Structure 1
Amino acid sequence: MRRSVDEHLDVVLGRVRALPPFEQSLMEALGLVLCEDVVSGVNLPGFDNSAMDGYAVQMADLAGASQEEPITLPVVGEIAAGRSEPIVVTAGTCVRIMTGAPMPRGADSVVPVEWTDGGAAHVRIAQQPALGASVRRFGEDLKAGDKVLEADTVLGPRQVAVLAAVGRARVRVRPRPRVVVVSTGAELREPGTRLGDGQIYDSNSYTLAAAARQAGAVVYRVGIVDDDPKKIMDTLSDQLVRADLVITSGGVSKGVYDVVKEVLTKLGTIDFPEVAMQPGKPQGFGVMGDDEVPIFTLPGNPVSAYVSFEVFVRPALRKLMGQMPYRRTPVQGISLDGFNSPAGRRQFVRAAATSGDEGWMASTVGGHGSHLLGGLSRANALIVVPEDVTAVRAGERVELWLLDEETG
């Protein structure tokens, strides 16, 4: 079975469903998609209050005040934030007031402390404020009944701020997907252990777990499972109970020891197409278990696994969370290098991209081999070369995916 990149992605997105919403506390909801319109139940501010440390006054008492001829008023009290004192400002008096403190009755303006000598019993004021100066009025920001946020908003720090300000402790959001990551291969060993002949450290499970976590998922890295069909099936079956999505790497090509493909093909719910892309041609996708948990079986070469995550898994995670757009939004840039590309395949070339006065510029890093992690570690972009382009010349315009961008 052979598919184009777009055909395979359509299959993936057609099978993945957004997770049902549930209530989360505000901090747990950070970065998630709101599933309700939020209406304020309070007015903001809830009372007239001071925007400055200073003195609450009647503006008319300070007509003509200047540095040369300051006006002195008696201070009849003090109000701090969080307190409401039964103090009245009458003509010819003032009250010392702190930022956020409620305005006393009778006062119509606030004089910043910087315009005064800071007196406690009497204060000299060197400037007349405008009427209502430095006063935050009741309900000037939000009125009770105003819509604060709309459904489908991604909650960032600013949105969390307004939710807390109107008193919402919990909101309905789409949860973070629970992602299980498994590496397969008898040759793999954990970092920090000693390598034997023919053995390598497992980088794929760390790469994929980190990428899934960066995309917003809760990640369970199971680690290494060797090329034993029963162990692979038992491990995957055991993990389904805590998974909204499963990712494996390795064992999906045409080799004798590509056991993942051998085992999962028998289920009849997972396809193993060849996708017209480089790197990452061997792919597997389908569902497992009674809950039809999506499973991605990615190639074992490290760069192939990472690129496959970017092209297919990341959009699936964004759909699970209800985050639009699902696909990365490309930008246009200039390739500073020339290189060839295979006919009939969409190539994803590792690149270091910078932005300047002339827009985005991208230099290729490392080679094109799907095992070359050194170049991948220096890349912050992928140059996406269409299937019908066989050569890119230095100075030509290309499509770029910026890998460090948090959104689409």
Structure 2
Amino acid sequence: MDQLACTVAEYREAVVALVRPLPIEHVALIDGVGRVTATDVAALQPVPLFDNSAMDGYAVRSADVAGATPSHPARLTVVDRVPAGHRRAHPLRPGEAVRIMTGAPVPEGADVVIPVELSTPGRFTDDPTVEVWPPAKPNIRWAGEDVSTGEALIPRGTTLTARALALLAATGHRTVAVRRRPRVAVLSSGDELSDGVTDLPDASAGTIPDSNAVYLCAAVRAVGGEVTGIHRAADAPGEVEAALEEACRDADLIVSTGGLGAGTHDVLGRTVAGSPGGVLTRVAMRPGRPQAHGSWNGVPWIALPGTPTAAFVSFEAFVRPALERLSGILHTQALLAETVSTGWSGSAGTVRFVPLSVTQRGDGVTVAPADEPARAAHALSAMFSAPLIGVVAAEIGDVLAGQLLPVIEPA
């Protein structure tokens, strides 16, 4: 890889190549939301499971009510009553009807359910007979008419939603095979950082809150990962190595921030560059130009810049795709495209990540910069509060009103 600069796409490809999908485990359906299917999933049983009534009424043979009308109803003998959750009635014989409730199994021989409203007197009674006339449709949910046994439901690599899990439950599943959640160790590098708990920030001492660690932990969890720990390293020889030894013990991935500059105190960048497969490079993007990746004790390591806005867009551009591959996601959501309402000037040559506000919602969404685009690289409040982040391609200079701009919805 070019050590001076590479494209966002090239660097993303290199980072994603560091990881492989994690092992498979089976979880109960109620624990499956947000997990990623490890296999194609098919129906184990049909939906509906059996022929059942779609109405409260009378299960009858259509031949027994053919030609009946409200003024000349058919008189049938009521031989049984079947609520939902009970065994089906005995097979119907000619001239018989079964009082049936919604969801109850339809007795053998019945091929239509007449709503109680199409009877005399229009409500259930204890009379041994009932006068009825045929409805416009059968009002029966036939077994398997919605989903048949063996029908493909959810492909491998799909993130499970509550609705998908309900479908699995309805088709006979009690567990689902998913990829194990990625375990991520977060490492913050820099003498200037305070953890905000045991070490409060002090303006006079030049220390600042470690917002990157908070962001990365929350973002990892938001996309389905687990955080194994937060580790901190001072800008001194041996400190980064010691933190890495702790971080890699129970992690599938290490994500660090800070220390990628050319300064004498930027120890982390030199450490990752010297690790197995290590690369320290500049990516054609703004913010987030310095990037690095490598490994420590066999654990893949993605090193992000320390500037909070740069760490933020770098997570979306590189860490999220790596986590998706670890999770086994095959159907990554494509970038959305929204219409720009207010254009702005810019220089081509790098991919620019710009925080956007939504200016109008209607048939589509229109967007405008949430802050002065020239400040986007350091505008912390705008970058972290914007509902959308615009991705301006490297070949585009000025962004014009009316053009479609790819956007991402951040974690």
Name the TM-score, length of structure 2 as normaliser: 0.85
The equivalent residue for 1:170 is: 175
Q: Number of aligned residue pairs: give it.
A: 400
The equivalent residue for 2:272 is: 264
Contact 1:349/1:364 (CA < 8 Å) preserved in 2?
yes
Q: How many angstroms does 1:375 deviate by?
A: 0.8
Distance 1:390 1:126 in 2: 75
The equivalent residue for 1:337 is: 343
Please tell me the residue identity of whatever aligns with 1:107. Answer: A
The equivalent residue for 1:6 is: 9
Q: How many angstroms does 1:298 deviate by?
A: 0.8
Matched, 1:209 2:217: yes
Q: How many angstroms does 1:144 deviate by?
A: 3.5
- 1:240 counterpart SS class: helix
Distance 1:247 1:83 in 2: 56
The equivalent residue for 2:394 is: 387
- 1:129 counterpart SS class: coil
Contact 2:187/2:247 (CA < 8 Å) preserved in 1?
no
The equivalent residue for 1:79 is: 82
Contact 1:381/1:400 (CA < 8 Å) preserved in 2?
no
- 2:354 counterpart SS class: strand
Moved more, 297-306 or 73-82: 73-82
Please tell me the residue identity of whatever aligns with 1:97. Answer: I
Q: Which of 29, 34, 38 is equivalent to 2:37?
A: 34
Please tell me the residue identity of whatever aligns with 2:222. Answer: Q
Moved more, 165-174 or 300-309: 165-174
Q: How many angstroms does 1:280 deviate by?
A: 0.6
- Structural mapping, 1:302-317, within 5 Å: 302-317=308-323
C-alpha distance 185-68 of structure 1, shift in aligned 2 (>3 A): farther
Matched, 1:373 2:376: no
Contact 1:271/1:284 (CA < 8 Å) preserved in 2?
yes
- 1:34 counterpart SS class: coil
Q: Which of 164, 179, 183 is equivalent to 1:159?
A: 164
Q: How many angstroms does 1:64 deviate by?
A: 5.6
Q: Which of 29, 46, 50 is equivalent to 2:49?
A: 46
- 1:100 counterpart SS class: coil
C-alpha distance 326-77 of structure 1, shift in aligned 2 (>3 A): closer
Q: Which of 216, 233, 252 is equivalent to 2:241?
A: 233
Q: How many angstroms does 1:206 deviate by?
A: 1.6
Distance 2:393 2:270 in 1: 32
List alignment gaps of at least 5 residues for structure 1: none
- 1:254 counterpart SS class: coil
Distance 1:88 1:18 in 2: 54
C-alpha distance 284-376 of structure 1, shift in aligned 2 (>3 A): same
List alignment gaps of at least 5 residues for structure 2: none
Contact 1:365/1:379 (CA < 8 Å) preserved in 2?
yes
Q: How many angstroms does 1:272 deviate by?
A: 1.3
Q: How many angstroms does 1:283 deviate by?
A: 1.0
* Stretches of 4+ aligned residues off by more than 4 angstroms: 63-74, 123-127, 191-194, 325-328, 354-360
C-alpha distance 46-6 of structure 1, shift in aligned 2 (>3 A): closer
Post-superposition CA distance 1:80-123 (Å, at most 9, x none): 22211554444444222222211123432212234453223137
Contact 2:93/2:109 (CA < 8 Å) preserved in 1?
yes
C-alpha distance 209-328 of structure 1, shift in aligned 2 (>3 A): farther
Q: Which of 132, 135, 142 is equivalent to 1:137?
A: 142
Q: How many angstroms does 1:247 deviate by?
A: 0.9
The equivalent residue for 2:327 is: 321
Distance 2:87 2:391 in 1: 63
Moved more, 164-173 or 58-67: 58-67
Contact 1:385/1:398 (CA < 8 Å) preserved in 2?
no
Post-superposition CA distance 1:267-316 (Å, at most 9, x none): 34322112121111111112221xx3221111111101001111111111
The equivalent residue for 2:296 is: 288
Post-superposition CA distance 1:113-156 (Å, at most 9, x none): 3445322313765642257x111223333443444444344433
C-alpha distance 320-128 of structure 1, shift in aligned 2 (>3 A): same
The equivalent residue for 2:256 is: 248
Please tell me the residue identity of whatever aligns with 2:193. Answer: L
- 2:17 counterpart SS class: helix
Post-superposition CA distance 1:339-368 (Å, at most 9, x none): 333x53222111124565674422111242
Matched, 1:196 2:199: no
Q: Which of 393, 396, 406 is equivalent to 1:400?
A: 406
Distance 2:131 2:251 in 1: 67
Distance 2:197 2:17 in 1: 40
Distance 1:196 1:153 in 2: 46
Distance 2:306 2:35 in 1: 31
- 1:273 counterpart SS class: strand
Please tell me the residue identity of whatever aligns with 1:49. Answer: N
Contact 1:328/1:401 (CA < 8 Å) preserved in 2?
no
Q: Which of 57, 72, 76 is equivalent to 2:60?
A: 57
C-alpha distance 137-218 of structure 1, shift in aligned 2 (>3 A): same
Q: How many angstroms does 1:223 deviate by?
A: 5.3
Distance 2:45 2:285 in 1: 54
Distance 1:358 1:141 in 2: 33
Contact 2:185/2:253 (CA < 8 Å) preserved in 1?
yes
